[in-house]
Structures are given as structure tokens and as C-alpha cells.
Amino acid sequence: MSNTPWWRDAVFYQIYPRSFTDGNGDGIGDFMGMAAKLDYLAKLGVDALWISPHFPSPNLDWGYDVSDYLDTAPEYGGMPAFRAFLDGAHGRGLKVILDLVLNHTSDLHPWFLESASSRDNPKADWYVWADRPPNDWQSCFDGPAWTYVPERGQYYYHYFMRQQPDLNWHNPDVKKAMWDAVRFWLDLGVDGFRLDAIGTIFEDPDLAPHGLPLDLARLRRLSETAVSRADKRRVQRYWHDMFKRQWGQPGVHELMKELRALVDGYQGDRVLIAEDDNIAYQGRGDDEIHMVFNFPLMRTESITPAHVRSNQRARQKALDRLPARGWPCNTLGNHDSPRMRTRFGGVDPEHSLALARLNAAMVTLIRGTPVLYNGEELGMEDLVLDNPADLRDTMAVWYLGQLTDTLGVPPDEAARRAADMTRDRCRSPVQWGPGPNADFCPAGVRPWLPVHPDHARGVNAADQETDPDSILAWYRRILALRRAEPALRRGEQRFVDGGSGSVLAWLRREPGSPRAVLVALNYGDTPAILRARSVSGPGTVLESTDRQATGSAVDARRLRLAPLSAVVVALENRKS
Ligand code: GLC
Ligand code: CA
């Protein structure tokens, strides 16, 4: 029996429930739909599902404004559908983690309604109240961070939208209520949580102003119009300085330790993954968050071998410094960021698809737990919302209004800017088939967000199911390989030099094992040769973007790589 907790071996897959599959024909994804796709997910070869918030919500931030932590949204099928889904997932050996929003609730949560009703109700101190705005802080979504409530004659603080008031975590009753919610879901059998925005839980106790000469809308606009290097640097500094007193404040570590102890009280290695890239939140490596995301990996304009190598070296070094050695968690996309094929692939569809394959192999075969985002396995791309009336992301709707009404930007340009920054672009319905509505919901029903037109051009599960060269088939192959090869899950990692600048290659090997696995990716448009001198020569191809190559014998010291290709090679009796 191995002591490795399941989440170190697992591949996670994020489901954005509203956009995954509509099971009851109302144009909105739900647990009935998710349950119907469990076989698809099992066959894909993922091990664990992260479900973006499924709680009842007025949906001003599509679930990230929770109005009841102890229930499932009615439009997702309520608790019966949730339980059926959870059973179905567990029955197939799939783990399920939920999305826990700690920093704030919805402004329609009964806690807030009570807190806002007077200055002396039992929950008066559950949120962050002030007689007048104590500073110039901004919400990162919609302008001033302080909003007035006439019933109290006071202002409340919100890091996110005005409909997302921040909880006062200094109040022990808040903590107790939230930990009760955590227990509720753990008792039901969920396998852990992705923790939303933990960095924003506490604010600077001195409430010191940011003091910048502009507000959020103007800073966004400045980011769009900055051209010179100096201006771009100034914009970056402004983004940091505007919010630096509103996140990353003391107190989070203590809180995470408490939550970890609570979770550790349950059997089955329940897991916590934080939406933060700060390795410090992994504590000693065994007493706070199990994993934080390696966001710096995706925070780049293009994925290059040099970028990946330097990212991996820096992260691994920092994780190795933790007394109990931390474990990495890698991802290239989620519901807040552009889709990885679009972001890192450019405009030519063939080229972007080829790069998406390489990046899929990269993120799943480097050391750590990968987290995939629904639809990336189909090569889904960002949706451009030409019509501002189709925008559903309130943050973009707000910005559009600012652009036209306050900043005097012409409507056409404003619409383009909003389409560019809206998170709707990566949230369009998952494409199951080539037919109407991409088989996300029935023909004739209007899906909550438009489907991407490329579903009719092969970017859909049904067409790819029967095509052994589809990107879906590629994901299945690399995930199956990862599952079959302990070295690819648990092995140490060493980058292999000796080739052209377009080649990224690394070795994975479990300490003490004679078997090593070499992964080589050629990001270039021309053939390349990898000359990995430190590697023992003869090897067998385990997987390759060229299916014919699988099983063939190769010399790993002189490995030929076709343009935009991936090759995974097994090496026995490795010397070094
Ligand atoms: C996180 C979520 C994002 C949400 C925000 C507020 O960043 O990923 O979607 O809007 O927190 O909850
Ligand atoms: Ca539905």
C-alpha cells in the first residue's frame, strides 16, 4: 500500500456547472447534465472534478455570490440532483471537490440582510462596516469598495462587486458558521475544496488609502491604451499599489491552519486547493493548504521552453524549501482567464491546435497535479461576443457602462474592449456535438451564453470521438499514459539540455527506479533534434503526436522531433 495521497496522483478537471451540460432543457447546465457526462469524464481519464460554485445564488457573479452555503442551486437540480451526481462520480472512482467562497457572500444572503438591517442586530458585526468610506479603496470589479446602506446609515466593504459584501473574519461567529458549512459538505462525502480568493479575506487594519491619482475604470482604460514600456510598467505598478492593502494581509495563515485541521479530521485525504499562487500558503508543506496553483506558468504571452524551464525551477525550489516538501499544482486555464488554445495559440486554427496538444502534454506530464478546464480537451476557443447585449459577466457590463458613460469612449470601441476583457469568452457552453446549440441544450432553447460557432467545424466531442487524431483522443492518450507510468506522476523531474531553443525536454524518474521517462516537445515550426547527452541511449516510444511512432525503438541521445510534435520515451537501466 502506498502512502501517497490520491490528489498527488490525480488529474483534476474543472467543471463550470452553468456551461457544462443542460440536463433539463432550460438552457442552463445542471447536475443532471453533469451526471449524464460522467462516463465521458471517466473515459477521458481524469480522476477528480472541481465544481465551480453550485450553491443558490442571485448570480451577479454566477455563483461566486453565495446566498446559502448549505444547499444546491435549484436551477442545477437542488440537493437530490447533487447527491445523485456525487454518488455517480464516486461510483466511477471520480473524486469531487467543491468551490468554497470564504471572503464574501451575496448581498442577498440572510446573514447580510440581517447585518444590514440595523446597527444592533445579532449579525451586526458579521460584515465590514464603517460610518463613512475610510479610504479610496476600489473594488476590483466595479468601482468604489464602500457601498452605502440607508438602514444602517453606514457603508460596507466589498473587494469584489457591490453584491458581494466581505465577511468580517475577525468575528468568531462568522468562522463558526463557515466551518459548519464545510462540515456539512464533508459529511456528505465531498473530497475537498477549491478555496476562492483566500488572499482577500483580511484587509489592512489601518485602512490606509492607496493614494493613486485614478480609480478602477480609469486604470483599466490606461492598461488598454498604454503603449510605451514606461507606461506599461507604470500601469503594472498601479494595479499592484491600488489593491496591495486589500489582500495578502496577516491572518490568512492562522485561518488556513484551522481549516486544515478541520479537514484532516476526516478520513480519505480530503484536499484543499487555494486560488492563490503564493507557496507560503502551503505552510510547512503539511499544515495549511495542500496545493496552491502555479499561476505564473500561465501568466505569460506565450508558452516557450525557456519560460517553462525557469518557471519549473523556481517553483520546485520554493516548494523544496518547505520542511515537509510542498507539492505543485499546474494549470493553463480556468473560468477567469482566456482559453489556453486561444491565449497561447495565435490565430491560425491548425497551428493553435498543434500548440494546444503540446501544452496539454506539458501541463499533464510535468511534475505536479494538473488541473484542466472543461472544454480544453476539445480544443475549445474563446468566444468573441460581438453584441454587448450578450454579455453576462457583470464585471464587463459595468466596465462597458464606464467606458461609454464616464470615459467618453465611442460605443463601438467600448463594445470591443468589453468583449476583450469579459470572462464570458471562456465560459461559453461546452460543445458536445455539431448540431444546434452544440448539443449543450436542445435545439430551439436559448443557452445562457451563446455557443461558439466553431462547434460546427469539428470542435465538439461527437466528431472527435471517432477521430483517432483528434485533440480529445490525444488528451485520452496522454492521461492514460500518465496513469500507467508512476514516473510521470511521482517521479522527480530534470530538464534535459542539448537541442534547439524550440525544444522542451525533461526526464521523470522515481528515486531508485531504473526506469525513466523522457518527454520531448518541439514548439518550433521546423524539425529539431534533441541531443540529450546525459541520457542512456536506447528507448521505446510510449506516446507521440505521430501515432505511428508509438512502440518504436529510438536513440534518446539523438531524438528526431517533427515540427510541433511531442514524444514520450521510456528508458530502462538509466545510468545517471
Ligand atoms: C475568484 C473566482 C472568480 C470570482 C471571484 C470572486 O477569483 O475565480 O470567478 O469572480 O473570485 O468570488
Ligand atoms: Ca438546465
Q: Tell me the pLDDT tens digit for each residue of 266-280.
A: 999 999 999 999 999
Q: Whole-angstrom Cα distance, residue 396 to residue 393?
A: 5
**6, pLDDT greater than 60:** yes
Q: Whole-angstrom Cα distance, residue 379 to residue 475?
A: 10
Beta bridge partners of 100: 195
Ligand 1 atom closest to the Cα of residue 334 is 8
Report yes or no on 264 lying in a domain: yes
Report yes or no on 446 lying in a domain: no
Strand boundaries in 375-418, DSSP class E = none
- Using a 6 Å cutoff on CB, does residue 160 contact ligand 1? yes
List all residues 6 or more positions away from 272 whose beta carbon is below 8 Å from its beta carbon: 192, 193, 195, 256, 259, 260, 263, 289, 290, 291
Task: Using alpha carbons, list the distances in angstroms from residue 522 to 305, 444, 541, 565.
Answer: 9, 44, 15, 5
Are residues 133 and 230 both part of a single domain?
no
Q: Whole-angstrom Cα distance, residue 567 to residue 483?
A: 17
Output the domain CATH number for residue 190. 3.20.20.80
Q: Which ligand is nearest to the CA of 28?
A: 2
Are residues 134 and 261 both part of a single domain?
no
Strand boundaries in 363-502, DSSP class E = 369-373, 492-495
For residues 286-290, average pLDDT: 98
Q: Which ligand is nearest to the CA of 25?
A: 2
Ligand 1 atom closest to the Cα of residue 65 is 12
- For residue 441, how far is the Cα from the chain centroid? 24
Torsions phi, psi for 573 (to 5 deg): 50, 45
Report yes or no on 162 lying in a domain: no
- Using a 6 Å cutoff on CB, does residue 61 contact ligand 1? yes
Are residues 219 and 268 both part of a single domain?
no
Are residues 556 and 499 both part of a single domain?
yes
Looking at ligand 1, which residue's alpha carbon is closest to its atom 7?
A: 197
Residue 332 contacts residue 297 (beta carbons within 8 Å): yes
Q: What percent of the chain has pLDDT over 70?
A: 99
pLDDT tens digits, residue range 450-508? 999 999 999 999 999 999 999 999 999 999 999 999 999 999 999 997 667 999 999 99
- Using a 6 Å cutoff on CB, does residue 336 contact ligand 1? yes
Report yes or no on 92 lying in a domain: yes
Q: Measure 63 CA to ligand 2 centroid, in angstroms.
A: 15
Q: Write out the DSSP string of 227-241.
A: -SHHHHHHHHHHHHH
Are residues 41 and 126 both part of a single domain?
no
Ligand 1 atom closest to the Cα of residue 336 is 9
pLDDT tens digits, residue range 188-246? 999 999 999 999 999 999 999 999 999 999 999 999 999 999 999 999 999 999 999 99
**351, pLDDT greater than 70:** yes
Q: Measure 293 CA to ligand 1 centroid, in angstroms.
A: 14
Looking at ligand 1, which residue's alpha carbon is closest to its atom 2?
A: 196
- Measured N-to-C along each axis, helices 349-365 and 471-484 cross at an angle, to the nearest 10 degrees, of 10
- Using a 6 Å cutoff on CB, does residue 166 contact ligand 1? no
What are 315's three cell numbers?
Answer: 517553483
Per-residue burial over 278-289, b if 16 or more Cβ lie within 10 Å, else e, is bbebbbebebbb
Catalytic residue numbers read 196, 275
Residue with more model confidence, 532 or 522: 522
What are 529's three cell numbers?
Answer: 533534434
- How high does pLDDT run on average in the chain? 97
Domain termination residue (choose one: 221, 244, 267): 244
Residue 302, sorted as left (phi over 0), alpha (psi -120 to 50) or beta, turns out to be beta
Report yes or no on 485 lying in a domain: no
Are residues 129 and 229 both part of a single domain?
no
Other residues' Cβ atoms within 10 Å of the Cβ of residue 175? 17
- Using a 6 Å cutoff on CB, does residue 196 contact ligand 1? yes
Q: 131: domain range?
A: 110-157
- Measured N-to-C along each axis, helices 252-264 and 172-188 cross at an angle, to the nearest 10 degrees, of 30
Output the domain CATH number for residue 549. 2.60.40.1180
Pairing of strands 143-144, 138-139: antiparallel
Task: Grade residue 382 by pLDDT with cuts at 50, 70 and 90.
Answer: very high
Q: Write out the DSSP string of 26-90.
A: SSS--HHHHHHTHHHHHHHT--EEEEPP-S----SSTTSS-S-TTS--GGGTHHHHHHHHHHHHH
Q: Measure 383 CA to ligand 1 centroid, in angstroms.
A: 20
Q: Measure 297 CA to ligand 1 centroid, in angstroms.
A: 19
Q: Measure 442 CA to ligand 2 centroid, in angstroms.
A: 10
Q: Which ligand is nearest to the CA of 160?
A: 1
- Using a 6 Å cutoff on CB, does residue 191 contact ligand 1? no
Report yes or no on 459 lying in a domain: no
pTM of the predicted protein model: 0.98
**576, pLDDT greater than 50:** no
The predicted structure's pLDDT at residue 464: 98
Q: Which ligand is nearest to the CA of 199?
A: 1
User: Mean pLDDT lowest for which of 51-55, 72-76, 333-337, 530-534?
Assistant: 530-534
Give me the half-sphere count of Cα atoms (radius 13 Å) on the Cβ side of residue 85.
29
**532, pLDDT greater than 90:** no
- Using a 6 Å cutoff on CB, does residue 87 contact ligand 1? no
The predicted structure's pLDDT at residue 575: 53
Task: Using alpha carbons, list the distances in angstroms from residue 132 to 147, 148, 187, 213.
Answer: 9, 8, 42, 20
List all residues 6 or more positions away from 237 whose beta carbon is below 8 Å from its beta carbon: none
Q: Measure 529 CA to ligand 1 centroid, in angstroms.
A: 43
Stated as kind and residue range, the H or E segment containing 500 is none
- The total number of structural domains in the chain stands at 4
**28, pLDDT greater than 50:** yes
CA angle at residue 9 from 366 to 19, to 5 degrees? 85
- Using a 6 Å cutoff on CB, does residue 64 contact ligand 1? yes
- Pocket test residue of 16, 61, 194, 293 for ligand 1, highest count of atoms within 8 A of CB: 61
Are residues 228 and 140 both part of a single domain?
no
For residues 423-446, average pLDDT: 98
Looking at ligand 1, which residue's alpha carbon is closest to its atom 12?
A: 64
Are residues 225 and 81 both part of a single domain?
no
The predicted structure's pLDDT at residue 471: 98
Q: Measure 253 CA to ligand 2 centroid, in angstroms.
A: 39
Stated as kind and residue range, the H or E segment containing 441 is none
- Using a 6 Å cutoff on CB, does residue 142 contact ligand 1? no
- Measured N-to-C along each axis, helices 394-401 and 411-421 cross at an angle, to the nearest 10 degrees, of 160
Residue 324 CB-density burial (10 A; 0-12 exposed, 13-18 middle, 19+ buried): exposed
What are 464's three cell numbers?
Answer: 472527435
pLDDT tens digits, residue range 319-330? 999 999 999 999
Q: Which ligand is nearest to the CA of 426?
A: 1
Ligand 1 atom closest to the Cα of residue 159 is 6
- Using a 6 Å cutoff on CB, does residue 197 contact ligand 1? yes
- Using a 6 Å cutoff on CB, does residue 281 contact ligand 1? no
Sign of the Cα pseudo-torsion (369, 375, 380, 384, in order): negative
Q: Whole-angstrom Cα distance, residue 409 to residue 418?
A: 12
Are residues 238 and 263 both part of a single domain?
no
Q: Measure 436 CA to ligand 2 centroid, in angstroms.
A: 16
- Pocket test residue of 55, 57, 64 for ligand 1, highest count of atoms within 8 A of CB: 64
Task: Grade residue 1 by pLDDT with cuts at 50, 70 and 90.
Answer: very low
Are residues 289 and 148 both part of a single domain?
no
Q: Write out the DSSP string of 527-558.
A: -EEE--TTS-SEEEEEEESSGGGTT-EEETTS
Are residues 240 and 263 both part of a single domain?
no
The predicted structure's pLDDT at residue 200: 98
